[in-house]
Structure 1
Amino acid sequence: MKEKQNLTSGNITKNLVLFALPLLWANLLQSFYSIADMFVVGRTVGQSGLAAVSNASMICFIINSFCLGITMGGTVLIAQLKGAGDRKGQTETVGTLFLVTFIASFVITISGLIFCRPLFILLKVPAAAMQDACAYMKIICCGTIFILGYHAVCSVMKGLGDSRSPLCFVTVAAAVNVILDLFLVSYLKIGTKGAAYATVFSQGISFVTAVIYLKRRNFVFDFKIRHFAVKADKLAVIMKIGLPAAGQMIIVNISYLLITGMLNNFGTAAAAASGVGLKINTFAGMPCWAVGQAVTAMAGQNIGADNIRRVKKTTLTGLRLNVTVTLLSILIVQIFAEPIIMLFDPSSPEVLESGILYLRMCCGANSLAYAVMYTFDSFAIGIGSSHIAMINALFDAVIVRLPLSWLFAFPLRLGFPGICLGQALSSLLPAIFGFCYFKSSKWERKTSAAQQGKTN
């Protein structure tokens, strides 16, 4: 496989933009899995279907968080090994990552099948949505191997500097997902189960396409059985970076899951509206995430090459880009909030009113603080300090989002708006902490994960 970009040289802004643009489009297309599900289900099944997919999506986010976190450890290590010019180390890392991914997918599948219904009961999912939520979740759990496999393949490509190939794979998957949603949910009337089948099948197509593509290229790994082996030193580094990164995302998404449980107290319309609002907010954050992923890959390659000055410039450039693209996203969402909500459920005034309120409060100035937080988290992960991102997640979720949402909603009796307010305030403290870590000189003396792997 031709390695598309060497991120240790050239214009930083140009490299970041060129690397981030394919990731942005890939993220946007991948988000259509859940957006298409909610759009079709909302118009075909109604409020109960939206509430079911909304609650199930929270658990899906947690599964995805684990997948992304673990494979991010592979991205960072491969990026640093590429920066250091160690091809053998790259090959061993890929083999280790793929085997660990395969094993983890089975553990997640079994756990999800056992615990999804008790978890929905704990979250007080509305009775009208319970059966559909369980059916949707069980199908998604059975497709975990495709989710993890796809993320593993793409993490390797991003670490090597190739952000374009994943875009091609997810384009195919998004098209298949939308077509199957329309056929299974709207035409065959299978309901939320049809949306789940569409998602799993499309992810499988994306994973298989990616593997076939790599096997036909001069890739660093040849996919022969004997090369799927766990190398202890590579596994240690992947886990050291990947587990805190996964922990960061899992903590945040568990907080959203608990927030969803709070929202369920206010009825089906509130649950449906917040689910739609979260999807839109997620969609608006895609440009920020793409730039952050580019910062991670670029910081990883440059710290592997021991170029501290370029790591700093990369982070600050990424910060400027993230604040700019986030501001544009905010303006678009605020201007078109009503028609966007109506796309999902045009017949329910309650869903429309609650959905608009959610976007007004949760996709505004607070999103700029999130852009700052995410940029510094991405920098920390890229240099191998993913524990900093996990600490930030604890600040975000445990210290701010959950306590304030509960306080405003129940003791202070603000209800649904109170939960929105608690979420809106959650990113400020982590943004400040991330900035302070970046400005400190401690990380500049850090040994790269690639060098640590060699000395272990």
Structure 2
Amino acid sequence: MELKNKDNNSNSGNKQINAMTEGNPVRLILVFAFPMLVGNVFQQLYNMVDSIVVGNYVGKIALAAVGTGFPLIFMMASLFIGLGIGATILIAQYVGAGDIENVKKTCQTIYTAMILGAIPISILGLFLCEPILNLINTPADTLPMAKQYMMIIFAGLLGAIGYNMNTGILQGFGDSKSSLLFLVIATGINIALDLLFVVVFGWGVAGVAIATIIAQAFSWIFGLVYMRKKYEVLNFQILKFYFNRDIFVKILKLGLPTGIQQMLFSIGIMSIQSLVNSYGSDFIAGFNAANKIDMFAFMPIQSFSNAVTTYTGQNIGAGRMDRVHSGTVAAVTMSVIVCLLALVIIPLGPPLLGLFNSDSAVIESGMIYLKNVMPLYVLLAIVFVINAVVRGAGESVVPMIGAIVTLWLGRIPSAYYIAYNFGKEYMFYSYGIGWFFWLMITGPYYLSGKWKTKSQKLIRQ
């Protein structure tokens, strides 16, 4: 497919943009999702290496520290995650409609918003990290290293946000392969620097944090140069700020609900983290290690969901609503199959957890999480795909409401109730309870078809 201006003059410089409006939905979603899945594997290796290195060369308290601060970091970056998703959907719809002029305006606007907004967010994070670590009951032996790690990550937050913006723009174009290249490079740099800074220089938790921000910054800059060379429409100066108010309002409409959802989700996760922290450093370390492992089941779900968001956006932009349902069925089926196959993680749990730290108490704590959560992942698979389709159509509010209810009326109260009445060994069944709540909200909405009325309103405004 070739993008065109509104006057229908073809632009041969953008023939690389991948259309998902023709062809078999299963093949299209698989082809689009596979590079993202490989990229997610590298992203997880990227995160795992940090934990494995500190868990083995610094100790289990360092392993607990690296994971404790993640919800706060994620919360501070949530607005940009939402804006990136909003930009992905809007770009995908403009691509489907063949409107190259607004594709370019959207890319320039989102980059300007990112650069102007990232610095104050980073400064705010530096001031908030210690108070919030105290608020979530971080043990005294874990607090100093957790604070050090978080402050370094916040100082280099622009690189992470920039990489995610690049990824969102490319996914809107139907290009999921280029981001994989950026991530592979960043992962290689991060692993090498982790080993250098921690094993050779002995910098501890600070070493893995510094390695992370260097790798992310390099990945962002390399990605930007690559994108400008590959896509003529992206050949703009990022420091020559351009801001289109109307387009930014559209991005906010699509992305702000998701950003708020992610922020509230992060606050909720901090509530769970507070409960986990109350059981001591061994339990924290096991929980954080298990989280790294179960992400290998989540990654395919995330990849299929991202693919179906772009697929939905492009087909709606092209007026091909008939193809959206078949794409949904394909993505749900593939996600459920992967979740069933991922149950093999449970028997493999002890040796996998042992990669992070060999302490028996850490491994036992990690197994509690895996045994509670993994059998219920199929619920998350279904709800994630449904939300991705609805968002791709331009409806972000209902998924946001579903996520908020899931967390605050489902997972958090049930986690505390189960922990206090039945023990910590069963507290993570609260995840499945929350996912069931989510499915009961977004499932009926999807079946009602009301989200379809959002389809053409946005790009016609």
- Residues 67 and 225 (structure 1), Cα distance of their counterparts in 2 relative to 1, 3 Å cut: closer
Is it true that 1:442 corresponds to 2:450 in the alignment?
yes
1:70 aligns to what? 83
1:312 aligns to what? 325
CA distance in 1, matches of 2:350, 2:103: 48
Within the candidate set 390, 406, 409, 1:399 is matched to: 409
Normalising by structure 1, report the TM-score. 0.95
Deviation at 1:424, TM superposition (A): 3.1
CA distance in 2, matches of 1:280, 1:424: 17
Letter in 2 for 1:258: S
Letter in 2 for 1:285: F
1:55 aligns to what? 68
2:370 aligns to what? 359
- Residues 44 and 2 (structure 1), Cα distance of their counterparts in 2 relative to 1, 3 Å cut: farther
Please say which of residues 354-363 and 246-255 is displaced more in the overlay: 246-255
- Residues 454 and 445 (structure 1), Cα distance of their counterparts in 2 relative to 1, 3 Å cut: closer
Cα shift readout 1:298-333 (whole Å, capped 9, x = no counterpart): 00111111221111111111111111112212x221
CA distance in 1, matches of 2:458, 2:269: 35
The answer to whether the 8 A contact 2:379-2:432 is kept is no
Within the candidate set 399, 419, 422, 2:430 is matched to: 422
1:126 aligns to what? 139
Letter in 1 for 2:360: P
Letter in 1 for 2:79: F
CA distance in 2, matches of 1:254, 1:328: 31
CA distance in 1, matches of 2:239, 2:184: 32
Is it true that 1:30 corresponds to 2:36 in the alignment?
no
Deviation at 1:405, TM superposition (A): 0.6
Letter in 1 for 2:425: P
Letter in 1 for 2:361: E
Letter in 2 for 1:446: K
2:417 is paired with a residue whose SS is helix
The answer to whether the 8 A contact 1:233-1:453 is kept is no
Normalising by structure 2, report the TM-score. 0.94
- Residues 16 and 128 (structure 1), Cα distance of their counterparts in 2 relative to 1, 3 Å cut: same
1:266 is paired with a residue whose SS is coil
Deviation at 1:25, TM superposition (A): 0.8
2:278 is paired with a residue whose SS is helix
Cα shift readout 1:74-106 (whole Å, capped 9, x = no counterpart): 000000000011000000000110001112211
Q: Would you say how many aligned residue pairs link Structure 1 and Structure 2?
A: 448
Deviation at 1:255, TM superposition (A): 1.6
Please say which of residues 113-122 and 270-279 is displaced more in the overlay: 270-279
Within the candidate set 347, 350, 355, 2:361 is matched to: 350
1:277 aligns to what? 290
CA distance in 2, matches of 1:224, 1:247: 30
- Residues 287 and 357 (structure 1), Cα distance of their counterparts in 2 relative to 1, 3 Å cut: same
Is it true that 1:240 corresponds to 2:235 in the alignment?
no
Letter in 2 for 1:357: I
CA distance in 1, matches of 2:128, 2:77: 16
Please say which of residues 376-385 and 80-89 is displaced more in the overlay: 376-385
Is it true that 1:179 corresponds to 2:192 in the alignment?
yes
The answer to whether the 8 A contact 1:252-1:396 is kept is no
CA distance in 2, matches of 1:170, 1:226: 24
Gaps of 5+ in 2: 1-13
1:164 aligns to what? 177
CA distance in 1, matches of 2:48, 2:83: 25
Deviation at 1:249, TM superposition (A): 2.2
Letter in 1 for 2:351: P
1:452 aligns to what? 458
- Give 1:130-149 correspondences, 5 Å limit: 130-149=143-162
CA distance in 2, matches of 1:13, 1:180: 39
Runs of 4+ in 1 over 6 A off after TM superposition: none
CA distance in 2, matches of 1:92, 1:11: 31
Gaps of 5+ in 1: none
- Give 1:219-238 correspondences, 5 Å limit: 219-224=232-237, 228-238=241-251
1:5 is paired with a residue whose SS is coil
Within the candidate set 378, 385, 391, 1:381 is matched to: 391
The answer to whether the 8 A contact 1:259-1:419 is kept is no
Deviation at 1:15, TM superposition (A): 0.2
CA distance in 1, matches of 2:238, 2:272: 44
Is it true that 1:333 corresponds to 2:360 in the alignment?
no
CA distance in 2, matches of 1:418, 1:64: 31
Please say which of residues 382-391 and 166-175 is displaced more in the overlay: 382-391
2:137 is paired with a residue whose SS is coil
Deviation at 1:368, TM superposition (A): 0.3
Letter in 2 for 1:333: I
The answer to whether the 8 A contact 2:33-2:306 is kept is yes
CA distance in 2, matches of 1:332, 1:293: 25
The answer to whether the 8 A contact 1:124-1:264 is kept is yes
The answer to whether the 8 A contact 2:111-2:238 is kept is no
CA distance in 2, matches of 1:301, 1:432: 27
- Residues 444 and 233 (structure 1), Cα distance of their counterparts in 2 relative to 1, 3 Å cut: same
CA distance in 1, matches of 2:295, 2:21: 31
Letter in 1 for 2:403: A
Deviation at 1:157, TM superposition (A): 0.6
CA distance in 2, matches of 1:34, 1:218: 30
- Residues 19 and 202 (structure 1), Cα distance of their counterparts in 2 relative to 1, 3 Å cut: same
Please say which of residues 66-75 and 174-183 is displaced more in the overlay: 66-75
CA distance in 2, matches of 1:367, 1:428: 10
Within the candidate set 92, 104, 109, 2:117 is matched to: 104
Deviation at 1:228, TM superposition (A): 3.0
Letter in 2 for 1:88: E
CA distance in 2, matches of 1:445, 1:56: 40
Letter in 2 for 1:224: Q
